[in-house]
A and B are shown apart, each in its own frame.
Chain A
Amino acid sequence: MNKLPLIFLGVFLTFASSWLGLVAYPYLTLGRMQPLPDEDTGGYFPPSESGLAIAGQRAYATNGCVYCHSQQVRLAPLSTDIAKGLGPRQTVARDYLRAQPAFLGTMRTGPDLSNIGVRQPDANWHHKHLYEPQTVTEWSIMPSFRYLYKMQKIEGQPSAVALKGLSGPHAPAPGYEVVPSDEAKALVAYLLSLKRNYPLPESPEPPVN
């Protein structure tokens, strides 16, 4: 093999094949998928998200939640995701239309979050959990995201957004309260929006046994 043009051609073609198959093809198909209209309500599946939840995706990215939490529900027998209650059905390409980026994830050091908005619809629970995870789940190894919150002196009326029911070493002293930053509010709005339980024809719910 002393002919460089020949090596170049081979190197180019082998690589181009995978580029066409794994980049161009998904770009042209999955990348152009549209939401399905919901005839009952006039809305769409997946439903459009609030501006706050969209901002929360960025907080999810910059603080690296994806390194411990996946967002994929897979079918049996490849997984027991559905039996373990991660979601009622497999997550499919259409579920990620509005995800930017799509946090599919590669690790489950923590639980899958595809449907965390269904499992935990309480915003205060999420704030408490982000502020001091071990007070909510004693054995958790999730780090505290206290840096997204502000401890402040209560002036007159307590703030309406202050975290309720905090305990543990970082609970506020009497006369103080913990309030979420805009980033924390956005992150929680995003987590609450994670509900992949709407019906999609391409992903029927498997029968419960």
Chain B
Amino acid sequence: MKEQSLISSFNPANNPDTLASHERAEIDASTRFPVLLFFGSAIFWLLVGSLLGLISAWKMTHPALFDQMAWLTFGRLRPAHLNSVIYGWASAAGIGVGIWLMARLCRVPLLHSKLLISAAIFWNLGVLVGVLGILAGDSRSIEWLEFPGYATPILFVAYAFIGIWTIIMFRFRKPGHVYVSQWYLFAAFLWFPWLYATANILLIWQPIQGSAQGAVNWWFAHNVLGLWFTPIGLASAYYMIPKVIGRPIHSYYLSILGFWSLALFYSWNGMHHLIGGPFPAWMVSASVVASIMMFIPVVTVAINHHMTMRGHFGALKWSPTLRFTVFGAMTYTLVSLQGSSMAIPSLNTLTHFTDYTIGHAHLGLYGFFTMMLFGAMYYIVPRLTGWEWPSAQAIRWHFWLVATGIILMVGSLSIGGVLQGLALYDTQVAFRSSLEYATPFRWVRGISGFLLLGGHLVFAGLFTAMLLKVGQRKEGPAYFATPANVEGAPL
């Protein structure tokens, strides 16, 4: 081993334990059924969730839309939208990506796939029962936990299977280094059941009293984003970026700093949703401080990814995986810094209770996490089906529809939200104005929903074509352009 061995040992593409291609193919094949099951069901829920979101968005400008139907009232559609995208889409697709990464990085063929297949079935059953329960009028109205008490145990059973499987995989992994993506996955798969069990016991099964519920609610909801979705998204970025461009992660030490500072600070963020609320001041202050400290993990990861990509940005021209992943990684930096700023009380005064927060949530869950999932799926699915994506043009449509859609949505909600916040704060302005200021921007948001739904339909079509192996067998992967040899090319 020469001088470079320390760094190169952390690059999955490049390390001495790198698998021979037939071993890799064997591992990929072992993950095929469970991962495709999670992906396929996730895409189904993505479509359902987008449609529910689209109708809720248009209800904000057209309150009479479907208003004779109880199950389509805004107060049920909105939680149905949120829960189908959180649990049905983002969690399930994230679990799929996590399973595949875990098998690859543990360097063993997937063990006990029946556990995962049962998990996928239970998970989807839980989401289905939960979403129908909300629409039927059993919502708990606890944000991110609206599923009725008869749905959450099903999800929990599903998760237990996944948790057990994770432990088995780590136990039987091939000896050698543990890659940074594995730290994040290991942590996420440990944090989630703890979060979900705590919140379910204290809010749904044996509800605690009074405003303590608010604290537990936002500790849970913010950590689902920060300690479940975020680590899975970062695990994917840490794997995909070096893989596609074929060079190791810039700095091992930045990876360590980014990981531990995320673990320490993110878990304390939740109370910034309740600034000024009925809680002891120290609880809110602790969350405000932790939110601002998030600057450290975010900037650390941003530098690490940027330095890895440096000189290779040309690859964004041809690689669909990289284009989606880098969009997600950049949005992660943006949305996290935005989140830190929103926790500063003087700015929070303006954005609290407004559409600005809705924009921020979509920038995180969509601009960052969903784009990261798309990127990972473009990489993984061909390796599972043994078939290449049938049309680079369709992937291009997918990218531009959703990228434009999310920028339009977040942009309009942010501007509308600030105007709404100014009106809500100003004692000389009547409440009515806060509505009127926000209305034109809510129209734009409604339009952005069509772009997103359109992009999702394209993606669902592509995925179906992959499962059915539509068209002719292709020689190479579907790239946007012929990959140039970008080694050492200037920025």
Instruction: State the A residues within 8 Å of B (CB).
Output: 1-2, 4, 7-8, 10-12, 14-15, 17-19, 21-23, 25-27, 29-33, 60-68, 70, 72, 74-75, 77-80, 83-84, 90-109, 111, 133-134, 139-148
Contact = CB atoms under 8 A, between A and B. Distances in A.
B178 interface: yes
Q: Considering residues B64, B141, B263, which has the most beta carbons from chain A within 10 angstroms of its beta carbon? A: B141
A139 B432 contact: yes
A97 B210 contact: yes
Given A64-B139, A106-B273, A147-B70, A32 B278 contact: no
Contacts of A100: 207
Given A11-B263, A22-B215, A78 B190 contact: no
Given A67-B79, A146-B67, A78 B349 contact: yes
Interface string B140-151: 111100000000
A105 B217 CA distance: 11
A165 B194 CA distance: 53
B70 A107 contact: no
A33 B210 contact: yes
A72 B425 contact: no
B305 to A, nearest CB: 19
Contacts of A146: 67-68
21 contacts: A1-B178, A8-B186, A12-B190, A18-B270, A26-B283, A30-B210, A31-B208, A32-B209, A60-B141, A62-B138, A62-B141, A72-B277, A75-B276, A77-B349, A78-B345, A95-B278, A97-B210, A101-B203, A102-B214, A144-B64, A146-B67
B211 A78 contact: no
Contacts of B104: none
A100 B207 CA distance: 8
B460 interface: no
Interface string B350-363: 00111101100000
B357 A106 contact: yes
Nearest to A84: B427
B210 A147 contact: no
A147 B72 CA distance: 11
Given A18-B268, A97-B209, A64 B286 contact: no
B283 A107 contact: no
B470 interface: no
Given A2-B178, A63-B76, A64-B73, A102 B268 contact: no
B67 A64 contact: no
Interface residues of B, number: 85
Contacts of B139: 61-62, 64
Given A7-B178, A26-B212, A147-B69, 8 more contacts: A14-B267, A15-B267, A30-B209, A31-B208, A96-B214, A101-B203, A104-B214, A108-B424
Contacts of B191: 11, 15
Given A10-B260, A30-B212, A62-B138, A93 B187 contact: no
Contacts of A143: 59, 63-64, 67, 73-74
A29 B267 CA distance: 20
Q: Considering residues B194, B214, B275, B431, which has the most beta carbons from chain A within 10 angstroms of its beta carbon? A: B214
B434 interface: yes
Contacts of B287: 22
B153 interface: no
Contacts of B208: 27, 31
Contacts of B207: 100-101
B216 interface: yes
A30 B215 contact: yes
A97 B76 CA distance: 26
Contacts of A109: 60, 355, 435
Contacts of B223: 18
Contacts of B210: 30-31, 33, 93-94, 96-99, 102
Q: Considering residues B208, B355, B432, which has the most beta carbons from chain A within 10 angstroms of its beta carbon? A: B208
Nearest to B76: A64
B137 interface: yes
Interface in B199-252: 202-203, 207-216, 219, 223, 227
Interface string B119-146: 0000000000000000001111111000
A70 B275 CA distance: 13
A95 B139 CA distance: 23
A105 B75 CA distance: 13
B178 A4 contact: yes
B353 A1 contact: no
Contacts of A101: 140-142, 203, 207, 213
A139 B79 CA distance: 25
B271 interface: yes
Contact of A23 (B76, B215, B227): B215
Contacts of B79: 64, 67
Contact of B198 (A23, A91, A97, A144): A23
B274 interface: yes
A92 to B, nearest CB: 5
A21 B75 contact: no
Nearest to A100: B207
Q: Considering residues A25, A98, A106, A140, which has the most beta carbons from chain B within 10 angstroms of its beta carbon? A: A106
B263 A10 contact: yes
B278 A83 contact: no
